[in-house]
Amino acid sequence: MADAKTKPEKSAKGGKKAKTGKTAGKAETMNFQAEMSRLLDIVAHSLYSDKDIFLRELISNSSDACDRLRHAALTEPELAAGDADYGIAVTVDKTARTVSVADNGIGMNRDDLIANLGTIAKSGTAAFLESLTGDARKDTSLIGQFGVGFYSAFMVADRVEVVTRRAGEDQAWRWSSDGKGSFTVAPAERAGRGTTVIIHLDKDQDGYLAKEKLSGIVKRYSDHIPFPITVAGADDAPEQANTGAALWTRPKSEITADQYKEFYHHVAHMADDPWATLHFHAEGVIDYRALLFVPSTRPLDLFQPERESRVKLYVKRVFITDHETGLVPAWLRFVRGIVDSEDLPLNVSREMLQDNPVTAKIRTTIVKRLLDDLDKKAKDDSDAYETFWNNFGAVLKEGIYEGAAERDRLVKLARFRSTAADGLVSLDDYIGRIKEGQDEIYYISGDDVDALARSPQLEGFRAKGVEVLLLTDPVDEFWVPMLGIYEGKPFKSVTRGGADLSKIKGAGGEDAKDEKAESELAPLVAAIKLALGDKVKDVRSSDRLTDSAVCLVAGEGDMDIHLERILRAHKQLDTAAARILEINPKHALIKALGEAARQDGKAPLIEDAAHLLLDQARILEGEPVTDAADFAKRMSKAMAAGLG
């Protein structure tokens, strides 16, 4: 909330305009919410390279306001009484040097004004501000989503006034600000409901006093707005500047790529270009139009717990809602756009939308269309598909986990980082490269691809040319066990259970298990077990290591190491299972220790080494050492011995 200053200021503007009527009242001065001031500064000075878009943003808001009133009036017709022709009027006053944008939409009362034009209501504001890079181009797509379009008016204005009256209320209000930290709110008068935004142009912005220029901007950016937009000088007759029909009702052949893009900006509140645009009319048992977009960047709310879709539902051109429509499953929640149904009743309620056969049917066909499109993109342009997958793959995988009806298609669409290629690979690619004697699909999961690629557990697989998938989305821990098997091959974590690589025919020739080396190592294995006690589940010689001396793996029936870490981080688990310590019989250090273990009097040395090896394996795993002081002591001892 904006914090109201206690001292009510007699603002010249607010006071003058308000004093004539019975509603005369004092203007209150309030400060913008702290974060707001900073955003405002960015929006007004560096965000957009093209100042023209201020008009697009104001018209977009007016259009939303008309949509919202038209919907509210379905149940409360008196709200729109006397004026049901929604429209937006742009007016130039050359003498006053103002451009105003007026609508007869829902309007705002005092509280609305303060909440909407003084604060950023969205959650995560602070985190968002931290993520700003200061690079205007990169920040644009983020900021656009934060609902700051209105402030773009300050790119061309030295003062902005908003005179507004909420539908169904008698009192109008005037908001006024120079965009520099504070604003005033005062009672005002307005003939009817709706909102007028008055831009007092900056000294050097006289270009916007030309009607033709404004009409051109409307045509260019706002043609898709489904309400008539007129442009006029102070005294002349208004002329409609846009087509005024809902974009999705027009034939595809008549819509340009730019028009689709501008509609996307408006409907999605996103500032990027759509990655995919899907426009179709389904006729038959159910009749609806859909205009859907896949963004080319991640929307900020993508991983919020509500997992809500933002696709807007219209019924016969009337906006109904963008909440809980049931039109798009949660695992496609990044899709933006509209669905306009001919079959649903205009007064359809939220409850009616749940389990509604019409929405269920629409949903099935929309999902099919979207997946068809993704299939096609994956085949035709794998680079573009990679961009998509990097943005939204983690969300699609939720559908696999949830057992969506389309699960098999989703599995085919899935892409992975892998040890066998630089780019992304599919499961079919993997199956195509599978080695003779390999019965499993190997994967390793963790937070970071590069760290994963360096995991010691991979060494043996790499040496044999056996591909391992590198999984870094938290959801991987859940869908992989849920799916369990692909093309008859079970998934298998390389950090769990025994890896019997000897039966796989590798590129590097056959190296069958070396029985002799193993029996020579037996005394060392026993000594390490004795030293570590219940700190480890087991100690054994490994054939998955080539370069590293040790690694940790989970027991066959135990939880995967990465999953356990995720659950502990989310406080869903407070214990850590003991792991199996695997040692590399071919490593020089292990060989030397093996030698020592067969001699007398080396027990203290082996004990220190055992603890250091376990700590080393934990560090490689990204875990802290068990006891830092103990670790430092043993380490110093070992180094001193080495130097001595």
Is residue 99 within the footprint of ligand ADP (CB under 6 A)?
no
CB 91 within 8 A of CB 58: no
Residue 116 contact among Mg ion, ligand ADP, none, beta carbon within 5 to 8 Å by kind:
ligand ADP
> CA-CA distance, 462 to 557, in Å (whole number)?
25
Determine the length of the chain: 644
CB 319 within 8 A of CB 67: yes
H-only helix segments in 76-109: none
Interface pick for ligand ADP out of 14, 87, 149, 399 (rule CB under 6 A): 149
- The amino acid occupying position 353 is L
Nearer to ligand ADP, 149 or 329 (CB): 149
> CA-CA distance, 324 to 351, in Å (whole number)?
9
Mark 143-162 with x for binding to Mg ion (rule: CB under 5 A) and - for no binding: ------x-------------
Nearer to ligand ADP, 150 or 288 (CB): 150
The DSSP annotation for 278-334 comes to EEEEE-SSS-EEEEEEEESS--TTTT-TT----PEEEETTEEEESSS--SS-GGGTT
> CA-CA distance, 346 to 392, in Å (whole number)?
33
Is residue 326 within the footprint of ligand ADP (CB under 6 A)?
no
Question: Rounded to the nearest whole angstrom, what is the least distance from the CB of residue 269 to Mg ion in the complex?
Answer: 7
What residues pair up with 182 in beta bridges, in sequence order? 31
Mark 240-269 with x for binding to ligand ADP (rule: CB under 6 A) and - for no binding: -----------------------------x
> CA-CA distance, 70 to 348, in Å (whole number)?
14
Nearer to ligand ADP, 149 or 179 (CB): 149
Residue 108 contact among ligand ADP, Mg ion, none, beta carbon within 5 to 8 Å by kind:
ligand ADP
Helix, strand, coil: what percent of the chain each, to 5? 45, 20, 40
Neighbours of 16 (CB within 10 A): 12
Question: Rounded to the nearest whole angstrom, what is the least distance from the CB of residue 340 to Mg ion in the complex?
Answer: 21
Q: Kindly provide the b/e burial profile for residues 225-235, where b requires at least 16 CB atoms within 10 angstroms of the residue's own CB.
A: bbbbbbbbeee
Nearer to ligand ADP, 155 or 545 (CB): 155
Interface pick for ligand ADP out of 103, 139, 161, 621 (rule CB under 6 A): 103
Is residue 108 within the footprint of ligand ADP (CB under 6 A)?
yes
Mark 191-210 with x for binding to ligand ADP (rule: CB under 6 A) and - for no binding: ----x---------------
Mark 60-79 with x for binding to Mg ion (rule: CB under 5 A) and - for no binding: xx------------------
Which residues in 65-94 contact ligand ADP (CB under 6 A)? Answer: 65
Interface pick for ligand ADP out of 25, 147, 216, 465 (rule CB under 6 A): 147
Which residues in 48-67 contact ligand ADP (CB under 6 A)? Answer: 57, 61-62, 65
Residues 6+ apart with CB under 8 A from 293: 264, 267, 268, 274, 275, 276, 277, 278, 335, 336, 337
The residue ranges that bind Mg ion (CB under 5 A) are: 60-61, 149
The residue ranges that bind ligand ADP (CB under 6 A) are: 57, 61-62, 65, 103, 105-108, 116-117, 147-150, 195, 269
